[in-house]
Amino acid sequence: MAIASTNPTTGETVREFDPLDDGQLEEKLARAAEAFRGYRTTSWAERADLLRRAADILDDEADDLARTATLEVGKTLASSVAEVGKCAKGCRWFAEHTEEILADVPHDVPGAEVFTRYEPLGPVLAVMPWNFPYWQVFRFAAPALMAGNVGLLKLASNVPQCALAIEDVLRRAGFPDGVFQTLLVGSGAIEGIIADDRVRAVTLTGSEPAGRQVGAAAGGAVKTSVLELGGSDAFIVMPSADLDDAVANAVSSRMLNNGQSCINAKRFIVHTEIAGEFERRLVERMEALTVGDPMAEDTDCGPLSSPDAVETLHQQVRDTVAAGARLRTGGEPLPGPGNFYPPTVLTDIPDGSPAHREELFGPVATVWHARDADDAIRIANDSTFGLGGSAWTRDAGEQQRFVNEVETGMMYINKYTESTPEVPFGGAKNSGYGRELAGFGPRTFVNAKTVWIA
């Protein structure tokens, strides 16, 4: 895949970049290893100051940074601005809390001083996707840099300007040379980088196939890995829920980032008593959304990231309908230029169809009917994914059942799943392993060293 910015709204390639050659890559890996030797000795206060300066730059330059993300990804400008703001919040949160999170942990051993000390690992490789080109990176970088590691970023090939902007922000914040470097390389270079002795760990956010390859490479090299993969999150609605609120949140969650987020609600599992009315209101609200130029203020849904993304999504919709699903609205790509797909609703989803077995990465909602809580839990768990999920009910007993029995890394009640610095984030089943953010973030890429002083 070429490393290039191609505007998904117009189809125009605006900039292309040459990938690093072997010599340039070697120079960057050597610089990372050298930078780690000095950076690991910096104090908590020094690192926190650097991150706070990065946060200030992100806030000051939010509009420019957001325009770059919207240009490369097609996400609405408002959502890009919000994403940059979240990165600043994440930097400040980890600047404030990491010293406490990584403080020595004493152990009660009579006659000896025994404790666990967390030490940084070294250069950590982050392989990240395009959908939240800033947040996915800062979600890793803020805790990892606070912990004393250094970062190497391989961002998706369609967002090179975002990748370079992040390196630039961190450099201007004052991080020493080599502490955070962007590697403009294709995915074919990743296995070799993971195998390099100087690289001590890897984190990937992306698709399941990419996760399997990176996880296998990390295992082969005996290195820590974190995988945040896809999802097909359930959104369960029971009769006691406020239906209007549930439908409004269903649309907000499904349409987040033009429908291209791992934690979008994707499968709407609705009690039969209210399913007909839920579907009617869902279709009405999806049809009322404005699809168009993501730079325009009144746009709700911009283009998908690439022509391939439209083709893949449309094939999944076509195959699901061919298998017997009902298409209630949308379902045909919009005329070009640009990669536009309309808000779409499918009901009566057949077993084994793509909407049942696969992740739909775009603005397509699928609705399922459940007879009762047991049936809702069965449908929710009938997926290879287990990232997030939500349930909408005022019944305390049902709330506890959904929390305990839905097999996901995150379960939200009367609120849809979100990612925010103070709350752990990650999946179960084929959605990956490891946790990011909150206390888990800084503790992921560290050596927990046992110290015994007799």
List residues binding ligand NDP (CB under 6 A): 1, 127-131, 154-157, 186-187, 190, 205-207, 210, 213-214, 228-231, 262, 359, 361, 387
Provide the minimum distance between the beta carbon of 306 and ligand NDP in the complex, in angstroms, as a whole number.
9
- Dihedral class, residue 25 (left if φ above 0, else alpha if ψ from -120 to 50, else beta): alpha
At closest approach, how far in Å is the CB of 262 from ligand NDP? 3
- Asked if omega into 350 is within 30° of 0 (cis), the reply is no
How many Å apart are CA 353 and CA 368, to the nearest integer? 13
Report the residue number, 48 or 127, with the smaller CB distance to ligand NDP: 127
From the CB of 61, what's the least distance to ligand NDP, in Å? 24
* Residue closer to ligand NDP (CB basis): 183 or 282: 183
Select 154 or 281, whichever has its Cβ closest to ligand NDP: 154
Run of H or E including 368? strand 364-370
Specify which residues 17 forms β-bridges with: 3
Classify residue 115 by its DSSP letter.
Answer: E
Query: Alpha-carbon distance 440 to 449, whole Å?
Result: 17
Of the two residues 58 and 204, which places its CB atom closer to ligand NDP in the complex?
204
Nearer to ligand NDP, 25 or 190 (CB): 190
Closest alpha carbon to 126 in 72, 40, 44, 193: 193
Q: Whole-number minimum distance, CB 42 to ligand NDP, in Å? A: 29
**Angle (nearest 5°) at CA 235 between 438 and 128:** 45
Find the shortest distance in angstroms from Cβ 277 to ligand NDP.
30
Closer to ligand NDP at the Cβ: 94 or 118? 94
Minimum distance of ligand NDP from residue 284's CB (angstroms) = 28
Residue positions annotated with a catalytic role: 228, 262
Query: In the structure encoding, which two tokens stand for residue 152, read together?
Result: 């190497």
> Shortest distance, CB of residue 105 to ligand NDP, whole angstroms?
28
Separation of alpha carbons 126 and 201, rounded Å: 9
Alpha helices in 263-382 (DSSP H): 272-287, 307-322, 354-357, 373-381
**Radius of gyration, alpha carbons of the chain:** 23
- Do 236 and 392 touch, CB atoms closer than 8 A? yes
CB-based contact 164:182 (threshold 8 Å):
yes
> Measured at CB, which residue is nearest to ligand NDP?
206
Residue type, 352: G
**Scanning the structure block, which residue is given the tokens 């800084």?**
442
Q: What gap in Å lies between CA 31 and CA 272, rounded to an integer? A: 60
Q: Of 98 and 419, which has the nearer Cβ to ligand NDP?
A: 419
Beta strands (DSSP E) in 156-273 are 180-182, 201-205, 224-228, 233-237, 265-271
